[in-house]
Amino acid sequence: MKVELVEIRKYFGPVRANDGISMTVEPGTIHGLLGENGAGKTTLMKCLSGYLRPDGGQILIDGRPVSFTSPAEAIRHGIGMLHQDPLDFPQMRVLDNFLLAFDDRLVPNRREGVRLLRELGHRFHFDLDPDAEVGQLTVGERQQLEILRLLALGAQVIILDEPTTGISAPQKAQLFETLRLLAEEEGRSVIFVSHKLEEVETLCDRVTVLRRGKVAGEAERPFSVDRLVEMMFGRSLPPPTRPPVTLGPPVLEVENLTVPSYRLVVEGVDLEVRAGEVVGLAGLEGSGQRLFMRACAGLERVTAGRIVVDGQDLTGAPYRRFLEAGVAYLPAGRLEEGLIPGLTLTEHFALVDRDGPFFIDWKAARERALERVRHYHIVGRPETTVEALSGGNQQRVLLALLPHGLRLLLLEHPTRGLDVESANWVWQQLLARREEGTAILFISADLDELLERADRIVVFFAGRMMEPLVAERTTVEQLGYLIGGKTTEAQRAQRFSL
Ligand SMILES: Nc1ncnc2c1ncn2[C@@H]1O[C@H](COP(=O)(O)OP(=O)(O)O)[C@@H](O)[C@H]1O
Ligand SMILES: [Mg+2]
């Protein structure tokens, strides 16, 4: 099946995620879609697979125009997408999850389902136990399940969005084998979305490179890596550097903490974070890392254990007391929690640095807003309302709103959805705060970010925190296994060091 995307456009407010993108995918090939974070890859693939409606442009299948109003419709036309964040249902068994994909009409009975699952699994060398709980599978195994489900539904074009994040090296080799088999022997098309050059280089026949919502270029095997780098970034970026910092006394001391929620209980967490230290929190979404971090800011009810900030016991204290102690929380949903839609930049800054209890000097406030817009490179004006800003600029505003001299800074996904340059910039700002003695705790789903930016990493799985890892001595495979709850495999993947 041949797929053509013609001049696809998709805007989110002022953000031109896809700004007239064209690409053609030939049957029987593995087509790479390469670009740094924020380039527009996921958006384009969601347009192709029925998760998003494009604002403009056309999709052609074997030369015929189509338009999908839902993913179900796209899969009926043979187009299936495997998402970056697994969209399955962890409380189910593998078989039920597999069967869930079928239309009511087509649902095979359980015996038939088991047979189909085993047959497909056998063909692609995926060994999945139909009775296993999906929640107990590794990221790699969930992905295998999802691929089988798409194949069972007859997908002719299989889109994989950053599929190697969080899977082990053997699982990755296995995945690549499967994708080659699908393309070469079965004549299906694979669209492989990645920001990792070497993956595209080893796997793909052709590649389309996106940059800032546009096609930066195309290439065919054998690839020139230099050309690809140039297309991706426009110029080569220096690797991020980390200034060395001497750690100070403990800022956050957590002892045997229990944080209940209706879905999950975080239990028995012990953690000490020192001044100037950066600790990354890893785990599949809903593993307890967010609940724990919110508790560290007084945003969740704690039923056992202690939270001490700078020697002050704040267990059970409200958010306000944590703020007074120098704790700040930067949420992931920028507009939902951090910023106030409808208010301008000036108004936001005026709210945080009020001159007196009643009066705001608007002229001075505008001046200060302008100063911060310049200092933080915010693309906007003091009069701009926050919802009109792009994600990267909203993140800059949030950073600009944070007071200095904080003791503890808690961040959810500080660079999610940002391009590499903005992400580097955000981290520069954050790391600079370490010199003021601020301790930083952040949640990320990006394993490279965790390994690159954190001093130590703690993995959460099913509400439990595992032994902290020293980032320098941790491999991406090891982290992937731990996130999937596979501790024995993780030990084997540990980097050998003294
Ligand atoms: N639902 C959305 N709402 C607002 N902006 C979005 C949304 N989805 C993506 N974006 C923005 O569109 C741009 C492209 O994002 P995305 O397609 O996810 O890039 P990639 O997958 O290449 O990292 C980014 O600036 C991102 O912040
Ligand atoms: Mg993406």
Instruction: Encode pLDDT of 174-195 as tens digits.
Output: 899 999 999 998 999 999 999 8
Helices (H), 297-359: 319-324, 345-352
Q: Is the pLDDT of residue 498 over 50?
A: no
Q: What is the pTM of this model?
A: 0.58
Q: Please tell me the distance between residue 124's alpha carbon and the centre of ligand 2 in angstroms.
A: 26
CA dihedral 436, 441, 445, 451 (to 10 degrees): 60
Q: Which residue CA neighbors atom 8 of ligand 1 most closely?
A: 43
CA 46 – ligand 2 centroid, Å: 10
Query: What percentage of the chain reaches a pLDDT higher than 70?
Result: 92
- On the question of pLDDT at 451 being above 50, the answer is yes
Phi/psi of residue 318, each to 5°? Answer: -75, 165
Which CATH architecture best describes the domain 250-492?
3-Layer(aba) Sandwich (3.40)
Domain ranges for the chain: 3-233, 250-492
Q: Which of 14-28, 145-159, 169-183, 323-337 has the lowest mean pLDDT?
A: 323-337
* In the predicted structure, residue 400 carries a pLDDT above the cut 90: no
Whole-Å CA distances, 130 to 71, 96, 134, 145: 25, 8, 9, 10
Q: Mean pLDDT across the stretch 191-220?
A: 93
* Ligand 1 and 18: CB distance under 6 A: no
Cα-based angle 319, 320, 322 (whole degrees, multiple of 5): 65
Query: What is the number of the ligand closest to the CA of 165?
Result: 2
**Distance from the CA of 197 to the center of ligand 2, in angstroms?**
15
Q: Which residues pair with 440 in a beta bridge?
A: 278, 409
Q: Give 3-233's CATH code, choosing from 1.10.230.10, 3.40.50.300, 3.30.830.10, 3.90.950.20.
A: 3.40.50.300
Torsional sign, CA 72, 75, 77, 82: positive
* Cα–Cα distance, 385 to 14 (Å, whole number): 12
Q: For residue 161, which atom of ligand 1 is closest to its CA? A: 21
Three-class DSSP category at 175: helix
Q: Which atom of ligand 1 is nearest to the CA of 45?
A: 17
Mutate to test the pocket of ligand 1, among 10, 23, 43, 231 (most ligand atoms within 8 A of CB): 43
**Ligand 1 and 12: CB distance under 6 A:** yes
Is the model's pLDDT at 242 over the cut of 70?
Answer: no
If you measure from the C-alpha of residue 418 to the centroid of ligand 1, how many angstroms do you get, rounded to a whole number?
A: 8
Nearest protein CA to atom 4 of ligand 1, as residue: 12
How far does residue 211's CA lie from ligand 1's centre (Å)? 12
Q: Which of 5, 8, 12 to mutate to test the pocket of ligand 1 (most atoms within 8 A of CB)?
A: 12
Helices and strands in the chain: count of H runs, count of E runs: 17, 21
- Cβ atoms of 460 and 440 closer than 8 Å: no
Atom 2 of ligand 1, residue of closest alpha carbon: 12
Q: Considering every ligand atom, which ligand is closest to the CA of 43?
A: 1
Q: What are the Cα distances from residue 73, in Å, to 44, 69, 114, 269, 473? A: 17, 7, 25, 45, 46
